[in-house]
Amino acid sequence: MSVANPAREMPARASIEPIVRLTSPAMGEVNAMILAMAGSNVALIPEIAEHLISSGGKRLRPMLTIASALAHGYSGDAHVKLAASVEFMHTATLLHDDVVDESDLRRGKQSARMIWGNQASVLVGDFLLGQAFKTMVEVGSLEALRILSGASAVIAEGEVWQLSAAKHMTTSEADYLQVIEAKTAALFAAATEVGPVVAGAGPEACARMRDYGLHLGLAFQLLDDVLDYRGTAKALGKNVGDDFREGKITLPVILAHGRGTEAERAFWREAMEKGVNDDAALAEARRLLDRHGALEATIERARGFGNVAFSAAASLPPSEAREALIEVVAFCIERIN
């Protein structure tokens, strides 16, 4: 596939505004559909859904679905249902993740499980997932269904992996990239691939948008990993150091461990495998991450993936949607600053 503008570089501007503006009319419909899908005579369901919906996620994934469809000239309304389904798949995952990670905070608010309990979080997550499938079936595209149902299985597989094998300091960088490809990037990839699918674009166009989403998702997750050590609770919407306290081995930790002395490696094993992760340990972890430039190196990896996503978007035919998709890559990477 020829690159439309091979000399072009990642823009210095980095704003989510262009995609917000581009997708605004369709996102109005997506938001209405999300409320309808969360409707139920069982009061607890809209209550919990409303808590999550109103807690102000950026809705990046459904915006990507809408923008990807628009970038391929789509003018129908099936993308709205697919975008709402993608957001519900994501929301269901968040509900279950908070139960698995025993998280207290989500997007700066008490997590659903702290208010309504683990049991309700598990079951309402199941309901949202069921509604997501039901809604995407209504669209009637078997190809979109194949992509989204495939992502659903892969996401859960990645989560189980993280829960089990990936709790050991023997986890390699390659292992870790496979985990985040499954648990984060697969949904980004599905979200952007169904855009051209529903627009009736050919297999090359679909593969390009899959590449775009996959690499954007990888970059996005790596920057989340960095922010967990560098951000503030306010900006994060969760506690700084949550990954550390949960014994989640992320790329910064893998890099610092790999570059560390024997004593430092022993520290990481104690912290991640044996749960020695109090505030003093977190301070020491941050010192070691700094010492080995592990956060910077992680950001570099993220930039690499971001460049792949950028190239995929830059090769789209010129349109407002192309510009929005390009700038969102820069936004995801520059939010570190």
Residues near a second copy (CB under 8 A): 40, 42-45, 96, 99-100, 118-120, 122-124, 126-127, 129-131, 133-134, 137-138, 140, 142, 145-146, 149-150, 152-157, 159-161, 163-165
Q: How far apart are CA 176 and CA 173, in angstroms?
A: 5
**Taking the C-alpha atoms of 65, 70, 73 and 76 in order, what is their torsion angle to the nearest 10 degrees?**
70
Nearest to a second copy of 27, 194 (CB atom): 194
Nearest to a second copy of 75, 164 (CB atom): 164
Q: Count CB neighbours of 153 within 10 A.
A: 11
Structure tokens at 325: 């998709």
Q: How far apart are CA 297 and CA 159, in angstroms?
A: 24
The nearest distance, CB 183 to a second copy, in angstroms, is 10
The nearest distance, CB 119 to a second copy, in angstroms, is 4
Structure tokens at 323: 């510009």
Decide: residue 16, CB within 10 A, 0-12 exposed, 13-18 middle, 19+ buried.
Answer: middle
The nearest distance, CB 308 to a second copy, in angstroms, is 25
The nearest distance, CB 231 to a second copy, in angstroms, is 25
Asked if 145 and 137 touch (Cβ cutoff 8 Å), the reply is yes
The nearest distance, CB 145 to a second copy, in angstroms, is 5
Nearest to a second copy of 83, 155 (CB atom): 155
Nearest to a second copy of 16, 160 (CB atom): 160
Instruction: Give SS3 for 106.
Output: strand
Nearest to a second copy of 160, 282 (CB atom): 160
